[in-house]
Amino acid sequence: MSAGVAATRTRAGFYLDSVALMRISQAVQDLAGVSAAFLTMGSPSNKELLLDAGLLDAGAEAAGPNDLVIAVRADDRDALRAAFETAEAALSGPATGGGEDSGWNPRSLETGLRALPAANLAIVSVPGAFAAREARRALERGLNVMLFSDNVPVREEVALKALARERGLLMMGPDCGTAIVAGAPIGFANAVPRGDIGLVAASGTGLQEVACLIARAGGGISHGIGVGGRDLGAAVGGAMTLAAIDALDRDEATRRVVLISKPPDPDTARRIADRIAASPKRFTLCCIGMAPMDLPENARQAATLREAAEDALKGAGGAEPGATLREASRRFRHAKGSVRGLFSGGSLCAEAQAVLMAAGIAFVSNVPIPGAEDASSGHRLIDLGADEFTRGRPHPMIEPAVRDAPLKEALADPDVGVVLVDVVLGHGSHEDPAGRLAAVLAPHDREAPVVIASVCGTDRDPQNRAAQVETLREAGVVVAESNAGAAETAAALLAG
């Protein structure tokens, strides 16, 4: 596999953020005759990645965290030269800060604050090893923080959240990619109307799906506060979930609150339930995969994200229209086939598991929810945003091409009868994920397997949900109204 020619180049003292680098890497990788392309900073973990790819030569080995490494393997010298030319051209383009928006930017938090003294939030998305330091500095200067970075040790998270509590600040994250604050979508978030439903979420796509379902049913969001995936674990003990509940309790615009999380640690769950009991507002708890728990009278438990949205809307919204199943049945020709779920959203993968489990269907997943059976049934639900798929690669919400290979494999697999996919829209996401899916589907037989998608988004999102749905339908995809509805349709097909 490693035939051909390989080379690296290093640019000393040229720092660029990982998303910008991954975008350029993908563009170079897509060139004819290029089998591998990495543009990456010379940190120890990135050099390990190059070593695994057989691309760590002496030049790359000598690079440090402030040095950019370009590493390419190609079929021949011409393809190699073209790859480096494309990479170098992209590095001097506008997306890298070297072009049209290359005006002066502050180099530190302090100078940033001098430029924007009214700042009330710092978004921190630097590599994990440096993230806690930057977050702490922001908290010490009185800023609320949204910490997007992952790979932050849990003891650092505990310390940061203790500092935030002491200072009366929000510390959203680490690993928090989505928030909606005072009508502003922050990070990976959708354009939803303002309203009276507040969200507190330990899950980015969970927050997105609930917010979009509420918006599409005519409701609105007061605020969506992300807390990070570990907040309701034993170590952190719900520190920011409790702070967010306090804040939404005081917030006059919020009348109802939805909490979205993985199943919490039992002691933390009790603490949250006690806090809810003391609130005058109504709560919906959606902890996908959690057994029914005792809740105070002002709270209800929802088994799926869709149920959470319905409960918050007092029953508006509703079940998947019958037309979705009729359309899927028409295209379903492979009655003994298994389900292959290829998700970009972790909570959407978890929700699909909950739906299949409720229908008595056993499955395998790389991120199993509690009670999931590790069965040999052949049904597989995969979160392509999990760490094992995103090491050194962009998240599938940013670069849907990450799903191309597993999707082609599923389409060609004679044992697969149903392919389930999610398409996540909004700020931060790829500009045309449906178009990318449609391009992969185009050369394939439309009859088997049937592809069922849900589209998490709104018509006000940059991608426009209606246009994305239309693209998918033209490609022969059955589009459900919600992720839960897509999974239910798959389960109904299996049940015959």
- Span near another protein by CB under 8 A; candidates 111-119, 153-161, 305-313, 381-389: 111-119
Binding residues among 187-206 for another protein as defined by CB under 8 A:
187
Nearest to 201, CA basis, from 234, 175, 164: 175
Q: Report if residue 109 touches another protein, rule: CB under 8 A.
A: yes
Which residue type does 79 have? A
Estimate to the nearest angstrom the gap between the alpha carbon of 195 and the chain centroid.
24
First to last CA, the chain: 43
Integer Cα distance of 153 and 187 in angstroms: 22
Minimal distance, residue 324 CB to another protein, in Å: 32
Structure tokens at 231: 């907040």
- Span near another protein by CB under 8 A; candidates 17-25, 27-35, 292-300, 436-444: 17-25
Minimal distance, residue 40 CB to another protein, in Å: 14
- Span near another protein by CB under 8 A; candidates 45-53, 129-137, 329-337, 487-495: 129-137
Integer Cα distance of 195 and 202 in angstroms: 21
Selected from 427, 444, 460, 473, the binder of another protein by CB under 8 A is: 427
Which residue type does 48 have? E
Please name the helix (run of DSSP H) or strand (run of DSSP E) that holds residue 407, with its range, or none.
helix 404-412
Which residue type does 60 have? A
Q: Report if residue 151 touches another protein, rule: CB under 8 A.
A: no
Minimal distance, residue 484 CB to another protein, in Å: 28
For the CA atoms of 333, 335, 336, 338, what is the dihedral angle to 10 degrees? 80
312 phi and psi angles, rounded to 5 deg: -65, -30
Q: Given the complex with another protein, which of 109 and 492 has the nearer CB atom?
A: 109
Q: Report if residue 184 touches another protein, rule: CB under 8 A.
A: yes
In the beta sheet, which residues pair with residue 201?
226, 260
Q: Report if residue 12 touches another protein, rule: CB under 8 A.
A: no
Exposed/middle/buried for residue 344 (C-beta within 10 Å: 0-12, 13-18, 19+): buried
Selected from 249, 251, 265, 404, the binder of another protein by CB under 8 A is: 251
- Span near another protein by CB under 8 A; candidates 75-83, 115-123, 257-265, 289-297: 115-123
Selected from 53, 126, 364, 439, the binder of another protein by CB under 8 A is: 126
Nearest to 327, CA basis, from 466, 216, 476: 476
x-or-dash string of contact with another protein, 254-273, rule CB under 8 A: --------------------
Minimal distance, residue 166 CB to another protein, in Å: 12
Integer Cα distance of 410 and 418 in angstroms: 9
Q: Given the complex with another protein, which of 103 and 315 has the nearer CB atom?
A: 103
Please name the helix (run of DSSP H) or strand (run of DSSP E) that holds residue 8, with its range, or none.
strand 5-11
For residue 302, give every residue at least 6 positions away whose Cβ sits within 8 Å of its Cβ, in sequence order, or none.
284, 285, 286, 308, 310, 311
Q: Report if residue 49 touches another protein, rule: CB under 8 A.
A: no
- Span near another protein by CB under 8 A; candidates 98-106, 205-213, 230-238, 276-284: 98-106
For the CA atoms of 481, 257, 191, 116, what is the dihedral angle to 10 degrees? -160
Minimal distance, residue 57 CB to another protein, in Å: 21
Minimal distance, residue 410 CB to another protein, in Å: 30
Minimal distance, residue 142 CB to another protein, in Å: 4
Integer Cα distance of 470 and 323 in angstroms: 16
Q: Report if residue 97 touches another protein, rule: CB under 8 A.
A: yes
In the beta sheet, which residues pair with residue 354?
none
Integer Cα distance of 420 and 407 in angstroms: 10
Q: Report if residue 94 touches another protein, rule: CB under 8 A.
A: no
Selected from 119, 159, 273, 358, the binder of another protein by CB under 8 A is: 119
DSSP calls for 356-380: HHHTT--BEESSPPTT--B-SSS-E
Selected from 1, 58, 166, 250, the binder of another protein by CB under 8 A is: 250
Q: Report if residue 181 touches another protein, rule: CB under 8 A.
A: yes
Q: Report if residue 99 touches another protein, rule: CB under 8 A.
A: no
Selected from 7, 60, 91, 143, the binder of another protein by CB under 8 A is: 143
Structure tokens at 353: 């598991």
List residues near another protein by CB under 8 A.
Answer: 15, 17-20, 43, 64-66, 97, 101, 105-109, 111-113, 115-127, 129-130, 133-134, 138, 141-144, 148-149, 167-170, 181-187, 223, 243, 247, 250-251, 427-428
